[in-house]
């Protein structure tokens, strides 16, 4: 699959990039995508939720009344879960939500997401560029020139670039990452995927291993 390369002004440069069919043209595996996204979201959870059980409540352990003969229910003490301020029954406890996925499955999920983007013509290839200074105005001009303003965009760079990253940080619908940080969730979350010429090569090398 060939895609024309454009510059930061949105004009064609006359160059073309050939996307590998083994990376951008496979039959997508929806279950692999599901598992990778599930793991990504699970890893974002802090897992610090906590409620106190009966043995952790501060209070008296005195028995409120005798066990039988009152006509009421049995109550061992004021920390009983039946009372307001008592311990919580089966409440949440700190836990780790992360789980393991094989590298090959995660690579398959990323390739499947890239194939969906290529199939829907949602990939733009941009020649390598740099901003002299970090300015949000520069990145807004870039988005407007590429005609993706108002859409959620993911710009993938071949290497880290502080000026480009800082220029995009204030824009809610734009995200800038390097080719090594690419994830299935980010690919699916973006409406348009913008790849630089160098990032295409890096992505193909990393996923073909």
Residue-range domains of the chain with CATH:
2-45+98-207 (3.40.1370.10), 46-96 (no CATH)
Q: How far from 139 is each of 5, 29, 147, 167, CA to CA, in Å?
A: 18, 34, 12, 6
Could you tell me the sign of the dihedral formed by the alpha carbons of 69, 71, 72, 78, in that order?
A: negative
CA distance 17 to 5: 7
pLDDT tens readout for residues 160-196: 999 999 999 999 999 999 999 999 999 999 999 999 9
pLDDT tens readout for residues 52-98: 999 999 989 899 999 999 998 888 899 999 899 999 999 999 999 99
Q: Is the pLDDT of residue 142 over 80?
A: yes
Q: Output the CA torsion 82→86→91→95 (10° steps).
A: -170
């Amino acid at each position: 699959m060939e895609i024309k390369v454009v510059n930061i002004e949105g004009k064609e440069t006359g160059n073309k990039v050939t996307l590998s069919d083994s990376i951008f043209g496979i039959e997508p595996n929806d279950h692999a995508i599901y598992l990778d996204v599930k793991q990504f979201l699970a890893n974002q959870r802090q897992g610090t939720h906590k409620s106190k059980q009966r043995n952790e409540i501060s209070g008296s352990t005195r028995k409120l009344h005798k066990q039988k003969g009152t006509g009421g229910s049995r109550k061992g003490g004021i920390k009983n879960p039946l009372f307001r301020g008592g311990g919580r029954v089966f409440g949440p406890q700190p836990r780790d939500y992360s789980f393991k996925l094989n590298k090959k499955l995660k690579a398959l999920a990323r390739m499947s997401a890239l194939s969906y983007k290529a199939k829907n013509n949602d990939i733009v290839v941009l020649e390598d560029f740099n901003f002299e200074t970090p300015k949000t105005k520069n990145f807004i001009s870039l988005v407007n020139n590429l005609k993706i303003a108002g859409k959620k965009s993911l710009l993938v760079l071949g290497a880290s670039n502080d000026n480009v990253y800082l220029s995009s940080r204030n824009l809610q619908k734009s995200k800038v990452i390097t080719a090594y940080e690419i994830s299935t969730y980010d690919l699916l979350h973006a409406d348009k995927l913008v790849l630089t010429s160098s990032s295409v090569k890096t992505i193909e090398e990393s996923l073909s291993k």
